[in-house]
Structure 1
Amino acid sequence: MAQDSARQAPAAPAAPARALLASFLPALAVGIGSSVLYLLMSGLAERLQEVLWGPLPDALGIGPYSAVWILVMLTATGVLVGLVVWKAPGHAGPDPATLGLTAVPLPVGTLPGLAIAAMLMLAGGPSLGPENPIIGVNVALAFWLGHRLAPRAPGPLWPLLAEAGTIGALFGTPVAAALVVSEALAGRPMRGALWDNLFAPLTAGAAGAMTTSLIAHPTFDLGLPPLGHPGWADLLAAVVIACAGALLGLTAVYAFPHVHRAFSRLGHPMLALPLGGLVLGGLGVLGGHLTLFKGLSEVKELAHDPGGWTAGQFAGMAVVKLAALLVAASCGFRGGRIFPSVFIGAALGLAAHALVPGVPETLGIAAGVLGMLLAITRQGWVSLFTAAVLVASPTIIALLCVASLPAWLLVTGRPQMQLKEDGTAIR
């Protein structure tokens, strides 16, 4: 009987450490390459943004954030991106409304158009972030090069490494990559222990994060005062603000398929994108220049002077930015939804602080971002992580964990802000 049991017992891997080490160098290379490409694209976009929103309007005698220039720039950005989507090989990739933080490898010929469309978007002012396009570019390049340089490696390895390396580069830490990959792996059958499956992606994420940190020195910390010993009032405030952020985000989620369908009915990128740009220009005039662009630098400006605006002004910026995110994601601009969501959540949290001064701005921002990201991304770990790193206050983590529970109950089972190919929302 003992011999039969021994025969039926699964055999342990002969050399798991050797198998994991074999993926170390490919993961390192993909992580570094992902960071370099991200920094190159974002750097070029920033240089173009500086010209478009500085010397150029000054030379024309127009204020860089005047109503006229905002309308002209956003509409022109729609025209230029529309031309790229119309004429570039592969039409700058699939409809961005159908994309999340994971990507399927695109044909290499599609990548120049996707990169150009993303850089024009980042420089021109639409309310989207760089995450989806750069993940698409890095996944396609890693898959293409990996199959040529290491044809025996499993095909799914390369996209996973590129996603982890890019997310590590975007957030400046491998923790974000590990959290995203962990959530992705939770829905797939795994061979071996979780950390065996995380070894290569975590290596790529660490390489991407370290490369970004060494070259660009990014930081998400808003420099807010740390939260002291939390009390029951702080817990109540965290729950209320996180739930309010989740509900606000869900309004955009439910509107997303309808707004996307309205732009799709125009039938051509040279109609949808310029019109979308014009609408975004009007929203930019209404909300002010802080509601333009991806929103990370603008969040820091808000947090630097939390007393500089009234509760109504903060709430107005949150609503305008949410509308801008909805339009930009629906009309075809190539970009992601995380960074604008951070601005919306932060503005909502600062509105709560301005309305009830007893709510610390640190707590308001973190809880607002948490609720908004839960609704928009439907990724709990990334939402908690992003909210926590913005305020760099260890005592707030327990409050955020508690606040995430009722906020998650509001969003779970609801449609996501991502569409299927037929235009219906993913659940």
Structure 2
Amino acid sequence: MAQETEKQAPSTRPAAPARALLPSILPAAAVGVLASLTFVGVSSAAEQLQRVLWGPLPKALGVGPYSVLWMFVMLVATGAAVGLVVWKVPGHAGPDPATTGLNAPVLPLYVLPGLVLAAGLMLAGGPSLGPENPIIAVNVGLVAWLGTRFLPRRPGALWPVLAEAATIGALFGTPVAAALVISEALAGKPMPGLLWDNLFAPLTAGAFGAITTTLVAHPTFDLGLPPLGHPNGRDVLAALVIAPVAALLGMCAVRAFPYVHAAFQRLRHPMLMLPAGGVVLGALAAVGGHLTLFKGLSEVGVLAANPDGWSAGQFATMTVVKLAALLVAASCGFRGGRIFPAVFIGTALGLCAHALVPAVHPSLGVATGVLGILLAITRQGWVSLFTAAVLVASPAIIALLCIASLPAWLLVTGRPQMQLRADGTSIR
């Protein structure tokens, strides 16, 4: 009987004493500040270049900044510029971006300048990708080099985790996103001690990354949409329809990803692949308009500021064009992430649902559309829920998002992801 009781007793993990956690605060805080300043610096430089390329320059040439001609010229020129960096700069701007995700490998230091340059040119030039993947990779490589050089007694595996958490905190302006991503990454892995002990240093890095970005750049994800009141049965039904539809739409791009990537790879040279991608992106911009350019965060604000300003057909066109632009940009070699353009896609889809059925609250449409598309594109459940929730800043919507995530997750789990192996096959 005593043996049975001993077998049934739950196993416990000893908590780490405070003296074991205190030494991690200063390194984690330093990593958070460094990661944030890297992100803000690259983003600010890209924004300044974007203002020149899409403002004074075309006006000086007598061309409309968002005319079809200028959009086409800029996207092809951006492809050529990034292709030149990938071809000639040492390190070739890192590995094929189609094979990388948020969990970046530790790149050698000499690769990082080319990756920063390629990402900055992409952000300024208009392709539909965000800064998250290259900025995380740059910070991981830089922090790993600095950490092993100046604090060699610390475990080498600690630095990439701190850099990733710090950058995610900086990107989203809150450490909650970093904690959710890290906890999801730790799930299923053997860990010494309690979960919060293992999250202590990454959460510190994420908090300092977030507060540094907040103090320096004042970011916000709240779209200012009207708040959702007390949910009713129609809201539940709308959430259960929009999120799975968005997930299915995202899975169309995921399924096509290896084939589009293989088509560009047949060109074999970055000075062919990237300009060719620019040509396709220019054609898509001619159809979807200038709001389908760039990473999409500012453009999402434009849509949300006037949710009734476009017809359902126009919202649908922007949704499909932006999804195709994301697929092409991620396939042809542009260095960038997929979260920010996916937010635009989900927002446009949600507002399309609102335009089709006015009873669908715009906040609900946007949040569930973003949730579904992010689940398909990123396969990160916590990030998808968190991003969808902070966009509308309405506490009443959280329960609806949790319910809507269930059928959407069933549609995407176990299926190919939007990330490829080295041989070009999809990761599952």
Q: What is the distance in 2 between the residues matched to 1:256 and 1:202? A: 33
2:230 equivalent in structure 1: 229
2:27 equivalent in structure 1: 26
Q: What is the distance in 1 between the residues matched to 2:16 and 2:52? A: 55
1:41 aligns with 2:46: no
Tell me, what secondary structure is at the counterpart of 1:46? helix
Q: What is the distance in 1 between the residues matched to 2:275 and 2:282? A: 10
Tell me, what secondary structure is at the counterpart of 2:210? helix
Q: What is the distance in 2 between the residues matched to 1:36 and 1:415? A: 35
**Residue 19 of structure 1: how far off its partner (Å):** 1.0
Residues 15 and 352 of structure 1: CA distance in aligned 2, closer, same or farther (over 3 Å): closer
Tell me, what secondary structure is at the counterpart of 1:276? helix
**Residue 15 of structure 1: how far off its partner (Å):** 6.0
Unaligned runs of 5+ in 1: none
User: Any idea what the Cα deviations from partners look like across 1:31-78, whole Å, max 9, x if unmatched?
Assistant: 100000000000000000000000000000100000100000000000
1:198 equivalent in structure 2: 199
2:278 equivalent in structure 1: 277
Q: What is the distance in 2 between the residues matched to 1:85 and 1:35? A: 25
1:268 equivalent in structure 2: 269
1:247 aligns with 2:248: yes
Residues 19 and 79 of structure 1: CA distance in aligned 2, closer, same or farther (over 3 Å): same
User: Any idea what the Cα deviations from partners look like across 1:66-94, whole Å, max 9, x if unmatched?
Assistant: 01000000000000000000001110000
1:289 aligns with 2:290: yes
Q: What is the distance in 1 between the residues matched to 2:65 and 2:146? A: 42
**Residue 334 of structure 1: how far off its partner (Å):** 0.1
Is the contact between residue 96 and residue 333 of structure 2 (CA under 8 Å) also seen in structure 1? Answer: yes
User: Any idea what the Cα deviations from partners look like across 1:206-226, whole Å, max 9, x if unmatched?
Assistant: 000000000111000000111
Q: What is the distance in 2 between the residues matched to 1:296 and 1:162? A: 23
Q: What is the distance in 2 between the residues matched to 1:87 and 1:75? A: 18
Aligned residue runs from structure 1 range 34-183, under 5 A:
34-183=35-184
**Residue 12 of structure 1: how far off its partner (Å):** 7.9
Aligned residue runs from structure 1 range 182-193, under 5 A:
182-193=183-194
Q: What is the distance in 1 between the residues matched to 2:171 and 2:259? A: 30
**Residue 16 of structure 1: how far off its partner (Å):** 2.0
Tell me, what secondary structure is at the counterpart of 2:101? coil
Matched letter for residue 108 of structure 2: P
User: Any idea what the Cα deviations from partners look like across 1:187-229, whole Å, max 9, x if unmatched?
Assistant: 4221110000000000000000000000111000000111000
Q: What is the distance in 1 between the residues matched to 2:376 and 2:243? A: 10
Q: What is the distance in 2 between the residues matched to 1:151 and 1:250? A: 43
Q: What is the distance in 1 between the residues matched to 2:265 and 2:67? A: 30
Q: For structure 1, which segment, 15-24 or 58-67, has the greater mean C-alpha deviation from structure 2 after superposition?
A: 15-24
Is the contact between residue 15 and residue 197 of structure 2 (CA under 8 Å) also seen in structure 1? Answer: no
Aligned residue runs from structure 1 range 290-309, under 5 A:
290-309=291-310
Unaligned runs of 5+ in 2: none
**Residue 270 of structure 1: how far off its partner (Å):** 0.4
Q: Matched residue pairs, number?
A: 422
Q: What is the distance in 1 between the residues matched to 2:110 and 2:100? A: 19
1:330 equivalent in structure 2: 331
Q: What is the distance in 1 between the residues matched to 2:248 and 2:278? A: 27
1:351 equivalent in structure 2: 352
1:318 equivalent in structure 2: 319
Q: What is the distance in 2 between the residues matched to 1:410 and 1:186? A: 21
Give me the TM-score of the superposition, normalised by structure 2. Answer: 0.97
Is the contact between residue 16 and residue 193 of structure 2 (CA under 8 Å) also seen in structure 1? Answer: no
**Residue 138 of structure 1: how far off its partner (Å):** 0.3
Q: What is the distance in 1 between the residues matched to 2:39 and 2:231? A: 38
Tell me, what secondary structure is at the counterpart of 2:222? coil
1:368 equivalent in structure 2: 369
Tell me, what secondary structure is at the counterpart of 2:91? helix
Q: What is the distance in 1 between the residues matched to 2:404 and 2:14? A: 42
Q: What is the distance in 1 between the residues matched to 2:27 and 2:207? A: 13
Aligned residue runs from structure 1 range 201-212, under 5 A:
201-212=202-213
Q: What is the distance in 2 between the residues matched to 1:264 and 1:147? A: 36
Q: What is the distance in 2 between the residues matched to 1:136 and 1:286? A: 33
Moved over 4 A (4+): 10-15
- Could you say what the CA RMSD is over the residues aligned between the two structures, in angstroms? 1.5
Tell me, what secondary structure is at the counterpart of 2:267? coil
Q: What is the distance in 1 between the residues matched to 2:410 and 2:131? A: 29
Tell me, what secondary structure is at the counterpart of 1:417? coil
Tell me, what secondary structure is at the counterpart of 1:367? helix
1:403 equivalent in structure 2: 404
**Residue 306 of structure 1: how far off its partner (Å):** 0.8
Q: What is the distance in 2 between the residues matched to 1:107 and 1:19? A: 30
User: Any idea what the Cα deviations from partners look like across 1:296-339, whole Å, max 9, x if unmatched?
Assistant: 00001001011110001001100000000000000000000000
Q: What is the distance in 1 between the residues matched to 2:383 and 2:259? A: 27
Q: What is the distance in 2 between the residues matched to 1:239 and 1:249? A: 16
Q: What is the distance in 1 between the residues matched to 2:260 and 2:164? A: 29
Matched letter for residue 201 of structure 2: A
Matched letter for residue 101 of structure 2: G
Q: What is the distance in 2 between the residues matched to 1:337 and 1:51? A: 25
Matched letter for residue 100 of structure 1: G
Is the contact between residue 173 and residue 219 of structure 2 (CA under 8 Å) also seen in structure 1? Answer: yes
Matched letter for residue 277 of structure 1: G
1:426 equivalent in structure 2: 427
Q: What is the distance in 2 between the residues matched to 1:19 and 1:84? A: 44
Residues 207 and 309 of structure 1: CA distance in aligned 2, closer, same or farther (over 3 Å): same
Matched letter for residue 170 of structure 2: A
Tell me, what secondary structure is at the counterpart of 1:90? coil
Percent of pairs with identical residues = 75
Matched letter for residue 207 of structure 1: F
1:218 equivalent in structure 2: 219
